[in-house]
Amino acid sequence: MLRVHLLQYGSKLGDVEFNLDRLIKAMDRLCVGDGADVIVTPELYLPGYMSRDMFFQIAEPISGRTISRLVLEVRRRNCHVIAGFAERNNETHVLYNTAVAVGPDGVLAVYRKRHLPSYGVFDEYRYFGIGKGDIPVININGHRVGIAICYDAFYPEVSRVMMLKGAEVHVYISAAPDMSRLHFETFMIARALENVAYTVYVNTVGQYDGLGFFGGSHVVNPLGNVLVRAKYYEEDVKSVEIEPSDVVNYRSHRPILKDLDPSDMELVVKVLNDYVNPRPPLIRAEGKQVITEEVKEQ
């Protein structure tokens, strides 16, 4: 069993210590101490999503004082936290929009956002590098939990990797503005259904530079039912007990894994490669004419 706590807080922009103190106070209220509690914050909760150029001053390595203190406080309470963080790689000096999972044994996983929106009101490429490498799935109280961030939900491959690695719970931390509300409420149900898994969505809330963030954090079960939802447009904390081991039963009735066809994945990779690296046309001359032909597959 897991007790999932949706910490739908706004952030004080640029004040990592203040935001961390609020998180620790929430841990005092919410954590029982049996290792089953998981507190989830919004995306970039610790620095504040709209901190913009302040990221360059306040970002820290995972080994820095903020996460070190968080590890200590989590260990004292025997609980788990998944928190949004602005990470600095000290070797490359690249910043990452990161979700860090912390438990009594220390840092369990570091997930760097793989898909960075840079359109409309978003400009994440200005501040952050693209996350590469593996998609982590961690053990919490005997259950498998995957982690991703906001815009990653637009790419179902991320959740599919989590599912194939055994994740029963898919956590998405987010900082989504008002115009994205319908998207994320649809995605969380879709990801739950297509992977027969629990989805946990935690969004920030508040007004920053005239941009509103709607909150609406929620948990969806493998049947697509919303188990709990936080308030819209105001801070809120919601808690729900889930039993991830039930996923085995859900998947026996809808055998997604058994019915997967690896050739579908191969086709996606092939078509994507063709799209990204199109073959140049064949150009030949016939007399004074230049003829361009599409190169056909062998």
CB 118 within 8 A of CB 207: no
Q: How many CA atoms lie within 13 A of 35 on its CB side?
A: 8
- Main-chain dihedrals φ then ψ at residue 267, nearest 5 degrees: -65, -40
Q: How far apart are CA 295 and CA 24, in angstroms?
A: 61
Catalytic-residue membership of 25? no
Q: Can you read off the two tokens belonging to residue 170?
A: 């898919």
Task: Give the helix/strand (H/E) hosting 40.
Answer: strand 37-40
List the catalytic residue out of 31, 43, 168, 185.
43
Q: How far apart are CA 107 and CA 253, in angstroms?
A: 35
Catalytic-residue membership of 31? no
Catalytic-residue membership of 113? yes
List the catalytic residue out of 73, 150, 168, 238.
150
CB 102 within 8 A of CB 80: yes
Q: How far apart are CA 253 and CA 255, in angstroms?
A: 6
> Which residue's structure tokens are 């609020």?
22
Between helix 16-30 and helix 65-77 the angle, nearest 10°, is 10
Q: How far apart are CA 130 and CA 81, in angstroms?
A: 23
List the catalytic residue out of 31, 60, 73, 113.
113
> Which residue's structure tokens are 């490359």?
92
Active site residues: 43, 113, 150
